[in-house]
Amino acid sequence: MKSTTGRQEAIAAVINYTPFVDAIDLEGETALSLYGTNVFNDKVMRELLPKSVYKSLQRTIERGDKLDFAIADAVASAMKTWALGKGVTHFTHVFYPLTSLTAEKHDSFFEPDGKGGTIAQFAGSALIQGEPDASSFPSGGIRSTFEARGYTAWDVTSPAYIYENPNGNTLCIPTAFLSWTGEALDHKTPLLRSMQALNTQAQRILKLFGHSDPGMVTATAGPEQEYFLIDRNFYFARPDLLSAGRTLFGAKPPKGQEFEDHYFGAIPERVLAFMMESEHEMYKQGIPIKTRHNEVAPGQFEIAPIYESANLSHDHQHMIMLTLQRMAAKYGMACLLHEKPFAGINGSGKHVNWSLGCKLGNLLDPGDTPHDNAQFLVFCAATIRAVHKYSTLLRSTVASTGNDHRLGANEAPPAILSIFLGEQLEDVFTQLKAGPANRSKLSGTLTVGVDTLPTLPRHAGDRNRTSPFAFTGNRFEFRAVGSSQSISWPLVVMNCVVAESLDFIATEMEREMAGDSAKLNGAVQKVLQGIAVDHSAVIFGGNGYSEEWHQEAERRGLPNLRNTVEALPALKDPANIAVLGKYQVLSEREVLSRYDIWLERYCRDINTEGMLALDIARTKILPAALTYQAQLTSLALDLKSLGKTPSTTLLDQILGMTGALEAGIASLEHELAHEDADDLLTHARHFRDKVIPAMSQIRSAADALEGVLCDEVWPLPTYQEMLFIK
Ligand code: ADP
Ligand code: MG
């Protein structure tokens, strides 16, 4: 009995694996001295650009001033000189289409010089703008194929960098991607727009607090990326992992994660070597990687950089995901970014830490003095109000096929958006509701005026892992974000809805104060009390996984959008369209196009999974079951011919399970064959309500068979093998 499936070969390959990669050659440098060496950063620009050009560029980068196109030629020329010196032959505008992957089209620097040779060219116009054909990227009906033009536009606020390959290097220029009518087709454009809106509104608040020159207010982000690593041989022996990013079959292993022995455990040697080389590459590209550790599930890990401006963090996040995947292959592994690669084992998320910073420091840091505290409370209250008021919009930003396996599934945050503040801060907001309170849970009395407010502690409470949105001392942590998704969209919505709240607060306070700075105390008090009264329902410090919370949340009127099909229609809610439009983040047409793109994506994802499940069940699992049945049958016949009475218990059991598998195959086939509904939402509901249950039906029969079939006929690498053979 020999398996023809490659599973045994995969196991053998893993066992016989010998590292083929040499230790990183630092060429006499330290990792530290290599940091940012592949980035066209401030230091390089200061060195290579004419002073006036450098200054003009800095004003755009640091103050958000309009870009002066006249400087483009000078910048392009400096970039070219710098890049050629580093072995670069090509440049590319990198952009971030709504596939949530990065896109790039490479152009050579070299052009014929007319004399039989070549000359390196890079004009300002090529730096500023590119023109990739947009027709093969999702646009949600924004453009039809006959209007295929799309433009990439240089984002000066995210520095160009070099991507190295043993065979040559490429200059990468981060860009926004727009249709020829100027509509956003990407993740970067709305992010930049939302950051601008946030800055405008935050400035009004800071002015009321008496700051004359706080500098530009920037949204900051620090994403914690979780991922799985498995040996590449297993990966290629599992068509479901290869095409859907997750396993569609697999019985629960005898040992899963219940021993809790993986979290923060010693990192296996091959994995550590992989992490170190990945980090080394990322350091060169100026990505400030900070932490690495084992996560909760076997085979699961986490990487997190230090926070940066949300825009830069977004670009770097994409580079992190790409680097992890490329580097895993080099070390003979596959990096799984899917939210739920293995049923019954923890899934992966991407906690996005978010705050606001300017020259004054972090605006969500309670600070050391009462004056800072009052300002902090205003920004904190603005966030609370925004999350409460626009909770369906925020919820929709993390809706995806993969994330449906996590949210609300007892390991990741629930699908109900609530905010964890920590005991003491929660108490402050409770007191605020009643007006100038003076209970003393905090040391000293609390009167929320500028002068008498006591210092708030930076760690205003314990951690709460069950909350989708938690205050963690000097920032909010949005924990519902999925591991494979772009962090842009959640950040866009955060920035936009908080801008709306700041706008509301600034307007109230301006009216209250009427230009008299002595009235600051009263104005702050009043606006905070109003928000505490209207929006405290979203604050919750208890166990977000519990059944009681689901009931309590319903009483509080908090929406619970359980899956993607329930969550995405929030994008069509007039209030949500209005807020994105009011701050010029996305027009109604742009929002609706995204609704279409993401709902269509949901249908495609499930359709692919359904087809894969059918294919694997029919061509791998059913034949294995039949093979073993044949073996048992001939054994029974042989025994009978010897005059024995064979036991058919096992055969009967397998016949029953095989029957269930065949029934599952028939019903999935039927559900997948249904006619396309005209309405996308109806179509999506069909996938959710009919296709997914049919897939589960097949899976339970297949997983049961895995438990009883002879190991040697089983065609797929098992959970035990994939998670534990390193
Ligand atoms: P933990 O696992 O304890 O939540 P990590 O150290 O893994 O913490 O990640 C915390 C993330 O929060 C890091 O990326 C960190 O840089 C980021 N962070 C810290 N301060 C801010 C801030 N002001 N704005 C945004 N992100 C921040
Ligand atoms: Mg965290």
The residue assigned the tokens 């030629």 is 73
Alpha carbon 198 to chain centroid, angstroms: 21
The two structure tokens encoding residue 29? 């440098």
In this structure, the strands spanning 289-294 and 218-231 are: unpaired
* Distance, CA of 571 to CA of 575 (rounded, Å): 9
Strands 88-95 and 103-108: antiparallel
Report the alpha-carbon distance of residue 263 to residue 299 in Å, rounded.
Answer: 10
**Terminal CA-CA length for the chain:** 26
- Pocket test residue of 224, 308, 348, 474 for ligand 1, highest count of atoms within 8 A of CB: 224
Q: HSE-up of 25 (CA within 13 Å, CB side)?
A: 4
The single residue listed with the structure tokens 């400035």 is 203
DSSP 218-274: EEEEEEEEEEEEEEHHHHHT-HHHHHHSS-S--PPPSS-STT--STT-PPPHHHHHH
Q: CA separation (Å) from 393 to 3, 190, 218, 389, 404?
A: 50, 15, 22, 9, 16
Dihedral sign of CA atoms 583, 585, 589, 591 in order: negative
Q: Which atom of ligand 1 is nearest to the CA of 472?
A: 4
pLDDT at 454: 61
Mutate to test the pocket of ligand 1, among 475, 483, 494, 498 (most ligand atoms within 8 A of CB): 475
Looking at residue 145, what is its pLDDT? 47
CA-nearest residue for atom 17, ligand 1, is 222
Residues belonging to the chain = 726
Query: How far is 486 from 488, CA to CA, in rounded Å?
Result: 5
Distance CA 363, CA 458 (A): 13
Q: Is 422 left (phi over 0), alpha (psi -120 to 50) or beta?
A: left
Contact 632, 658 (CB under 8 A): no
Distance of CA 351 from the midpoint of ligand 2 (Å): 6
Residues with C-beta less than 6 Å from any ligand 1 atom: 220-222, 224, 291, 304-307, 353-355, 362, 474-475
Separation of 306 CA from ligand 1 center, angstroms?
7
Ligand 1: nearest atom to the Cα of 222: 14
224 alpha carbon – ligand 2 mean position (Å): 7
Surrounding residues of ion ligand 2, Cβ less than 5 A: 351
Q: Which atom of ligand 1 is nearest to the CA of 221?
A: 25
Q: How far is the CA of 557 from the centre of ligand 1 (A)?
A: 31
Centre of ligand 1 to C-alpha 503, Å, is: 27
Q: What is the mean pLDDT of each run of 10 residues along the chain (726 residues)?
A: 66 79 72 89 96 94 88 95 95 92 90 90 91 76 64 94 94 92 92 97 97 96 97 94 97 77 76 92 95 87 97 97 96 96 94 97 86 89 98 97 87 88 86 64 52 63 81 94 97 98 98 94 92 96 91 96 96 98 96 95 97 98 97 97 95 97 98 84 96 97 97 94 85
Question: Residue 659 burial (CB < 10 Å; 0-12/13-18/19+)?
Answer: exposed
Give 32-59 as a DSSP string. HHHTTTTB--HHHHHHHS-HHHHHHHHH
Q: Phi-psi region for residue 184, left (φ > 0), alpha (ψ -120 to 50) or beta?
A: beta
- Collapsing DSSP to helix, strand or coil, 305 comes out as strand
d(CA 341, CA 406): 11
Angle subtended at Cα 489 by Cα 486 and Cα 490, rounded to the nearest 5 degrees: 100
Nearest ligand to the C-alpha of residue 310?
1
How far apart are the CA of 551 and the centre of ligand 2, in A? 27
**Biggest alpha carbon distance in the chain?**
106
Report residue 702 CA to chain centroid gap: 32
Other C-beta atoms within 10 Å of 562: how many?
14
| β-bridge mates for residue 302, sequence order | 226, 293
This prediction's pTM: 0.94
Structure tokens at 193: 């727009």
Q: How far is the CA of 225 from the centre of ligand 2 (A)?
A: 10
Strand extents, DSSP E, 650-699 = none
- DSSP of 437-482: ----SSSS----STTTPPPPPSS-S---TT-SEEE-SSSEEE---B
Task: Give the separation between CA 560 and CA 550, rounded to whole angstroms.
Answer: 8
Predicted pLDDT at 457: 67
